[in-house]
Every structure is written in C-alpha cells, then in structure tokens.
Amino acid sequence: MPAPLVPPFTLETAIAKVRMAEDGWNSRDPERVSKVYTEDSLWRNRAEFPRGRKEIVEFLTRKWARELDYRLIKELWAFDGNRIAVRFAYEWRDDSGHWFRSYGNENWEFDVDGLMQRRFASINDMPIKEEDRKFHWPLGPRPDDHPGLSELGL
C-alpha cells in the first residue's frame, strides 16, 4: 500500500496530491470528494463559503447539477510545507447547451493527516463554442495520455 500523501510535501507528493484531487472532482461524486477534507474544512469558492463536509456535499451537489459534462484539469503551481497552490481549468455546459471554460487558482492547506482543512478558490468563467472545447475524454478521470494545462496552452 502506498504511503499516505501527508505534509510536508515534496515535489513528487504535491504533484500526486493535485492529481488525486483532479481525479476525485472528475468523479462528480460529492460524498467521495468530501472525504478528503477535514470535518470542519473552511472554503471560499466564488461568493460561497462552505464550512465542513455536510456543506461541501451540498455545495458540490448543486454545482454538478448546474455544471453538466464537467471535465477538470489541475496543475501544481507551488508548494511549501503543508500548503499547495494549483491552477486549474474546467469545461462544462449549462442545461441550455451553452459551453464554458472556467479558469481558476486554489490555495490549499492540509492537516497532519493529509486532509484539506482550507481551500480558497478564485474562478472566472468564459463562454466558449462547443467546437473550441479542449477537454475530450469520457466522463470520469482524465486519461494519463490526455494533455495537461501547459501542454494545451492554457
């Protein structure tokens, strides 16, 4: 069994932690995703401030009911001790069929067990045409051979 990904992070463990987060969010399973956060985790996500797993599940349930065909790519930006900074982009469509690419940055802070205790996200949405989409894989985790953000020029 691999060692748990706990602070202090190395380059290797920070990259692995980011990919695990990406894969979790691409599952679009709020209960699964909530398990990597502390019971009292504090978030800032746009204008919402979920606190704790129950509110995280409620937030993610609303999010993925609204953001259909969601596909996300995260990339490590920086790390130090128990903190990781990432940049990300995700593509989704609304229930009218309009496509968007959302760009953002997240700052994460972890407890000694490797659970995320703080997540601060800044996100901007950009309408895109369906033919301008760059994230083409079946719903679920991004395949290992699919380019990341830097390779896609994002």
Which DSSP category does 2 fall into?
P
**How far is it, in rounded angstroms, from Cα 122 to Cα 105?**
5
Count of H-run helices and E-run strands, the chain: 3, 5
Per-residue pLDDT of the chain (154 residues; tens, 9 = 90+): 566 799 999 999 999 999 999 999 999 999 999 999 999 999 999 999 999 999 999 999 999 999 999 999 999 999 999 999 999 999 999 999 999 999 999 999 999 999 999 999 999 999 999 999 999 999 999 999 999 999 999 9
Would you list the domain boundaries of the chain?
11-132
DSSP string, 88-107: EEEEEE-TTS-EEEEEEEEE
Strands 37-45 and 116-128: parallel
How is residue 19 written in tokens?
Answer: 């990919």
- Domain 11-132 adopts which CATH fold? Nuclear Transport Factor 2; Chain: A, (3.10.450)
Q: How far apart are CA 105 and CA 109, in angstroms?
A: 14
